[in-house]
Amino acid sequence: MAPHATDITGPAEDITIHQDTAVKSPKSELFTVRSPNVTYTDKDIISKYTYRTTEVNVTDGKYIATPKETLYDFKTERNVGKVGVMLVGLGGNNGTTITAGILANRRNLTWETREGPRAANYYGSVIMGSTVKLGTDAKTNKEINIPLHDMLPMAHPNDLVIGGWDISSLDLAAAADRAKVLEPTLKQLVRKELASIKPLPSIYYPDFIAANQESRADNVVPGSKASSEHVEHIRKDIRDFKATHSLDKVIVLWTANTERYADVLPGVNDTSANLLASIESGHAEIAPSTVFAVASILENVPFINGSPQNTFVPGCLALASEKNSFLGGDDFKSGQTKMKSALVDFLINAGIKLTSIASYNHLGNNDGKNLSSQAQFRSKEISKSNVVDDMVEANTVLYKPGEKPDHTVVIKYMPAVGDNKRAMDEYYAEIFLGGHQTIFISNVCEDSLLAAPLIIDLILVAELMTRITWRAGRKEQESAGGKGEWKGFHSVLSVLSYMLKAPVVPEGTPVINSLARQRGCMVNVLRACVGLEAEGDMGLEYKLF
């Protein structure tokens, strides 16, 4: 019997996966760094890294730029351990898709479609499906590129243990039939495993999701408002899941319905103490997603919000900081918004003044049904509308202070198209001498098949961040009068921004939406942890002959 089988499919007697068909993840590290600044032990990779930035002072409208160097030590635990994932919304389109996808990859499945045979893969995952430049070949001077997944010891999705909650009681086989995402031939190959998985009861506060979801809510914990009992119930579910599967760590991720925005109220959810008191008193303005986040924080389990609502109210962020627990969000960035952040970055950096963006979407899955309610649509509208702000504000040549392109987002529920979302965008820009350019993009995408790999990316990077610590370098330690303690990264994991529409960042730091900068940040953090310089594109080795 496969060593992973019981991790995802429940009771051992229901399993039909055999040892010779299960695909194990590779464990060996692809490369090592030969440098006095990098040390390998059986337990850790320790690097000394010089972070180079430019400090700017403004005097009388002129800038004085000063190069600045800061020394850091990074330590990365090499042993990944056994990782579990608990999805809120396990029985939804994304939950069933990612579970079936991991099963298919784990068993190396191939299935027939009307276009011919298809094989399991992790396409669409930046961690599993893309490469990064390691350096140049010493003999041929050619670039050496390696899988991004191999930059540091990382969990492999084939090894993940999947569980979670859902307001619907359907087992995952029935839920996958309802979702209408997977090929029937693939569903048949994994049906028995999916049928053995039934979501845990979830919390359900009708005021926060569309009324049209009520018919699905037959698997709920008693109570329609926040309570300390709900927090403790979720905490127990996490502990039981971890113990049952002998896990080293758990990641919790919200992939359930979009909620309406919660009002941020003084004395209610503005501080950690007020938030906990409001949960205990059952205040009506505490969202289910915030209750899940608080339970995860108190269990010191990373929590990632994949929907656009404001789960992370100020009190929630403060609690995570106090407990040194990781949060990441908001809203998966899969199709239209990812294209928008890339195209707008290109246009503005090319010196073209974008003056309006009109985005129209229609989709027919349950996400679209829930978003047909105005309060829930407003959450999505906010997350999709702010993705260009930092790029616009950075260009003071094209835009005056406070000036922005007109930006309109429309989402309509069209049941007939199912999970095949249609997205149409018109970009209108001003060019040389008062001329204009219009770019029109039509994007047809299978929504859940784009979102599922992002969930994998978020899980893998969040897990990695639990194994990385840092401290000030020697000079900084001496100036501080001591060695310096090893610390984790900030509780808000902005390094996850590449996968999210509305990145949550630590207070006082800039929000970066540029897709290229987000990916560069993630890659260069990994490079720093193995003592390699941030990757640039100067290519002097090819230019200074």
Burial of residue 300 (CB within 10 Å: 0-12, 13-18, 19+) is middle
Given the residues 73, 166, 330, 331, the one annotated as active site: 331
Distance between CA atoms of 341 and 354, rounded to whole angstroms? 13
501 tagged catalytic: yes
Cα within 13 Å of Cα(91), Cβ side: 25
CB atoms within 10 A of CB 23: 15
Residue among 341, 292, 343 at smallest CA distance from 316: 292
Given the residues 225, 384, 421, 457, the one annotated as active site: 421
- The answer to whether 464 and 326 are in contact (CB under 8 A) is no
Distance between CA atoms of 277 and 283, rounded to whole angstroms? 9
- The answer to whether 501 and 384 are in contact (CB under 8 A) is yes
Distance between CA atoms of 154 and 200, rounded to whole angstroms? 28
Residue among 324, 328, 388 at smallest CA distance from 353: 388
In degrees and rounded to multiples of 5, residue 485 shows phi and psi of -95, 150
**In this structure, is the dihedral angle defined by the CA atoms of residues 213, 216, 220 and 224, taken in order, positive or negative?**
positive
DSSP 444: E
Given the residues 380, 384, 425, 447, the one annotated as active site: 380
CB atoms within 10 A of CB 336: 24
Could you give the C-alpha distances from 169 to 57, 108, 220, 236, 252, in angstroms and in order?
59, 29, 9, 19, 19
Burial of residue 359 (CB within 10 Å: 0-12, 13-18, 19+) is buried
Cα separation of the two ends of the chain: 59
457 tagged catalytic: no
Could you give the C-alpha distances from 200 to 34, 241, 461, in angstroms and in order?
48, 10, 25
Given the residues 75, 333, 384, 501, the one annotated as active site: 501
Helices (H), 55-158: 93-106, 126-129
Distance between CA atoms of 63 and 186, rounded to whole angstroms? 60
Number of residues that make up the chain = 545
198 tagged catalytic: no
Q: Is the peptide bond before 44 cis (omega within 30 degrees of 0)?
A: no
93-106 helix and 447-465 helix, angle to the nearest 10 degrees: 70
- The answer to whether 364 and 416 are in contact (CB under 8 A) is yes
Residues known to be catalytic: 331, 380, 421, 501
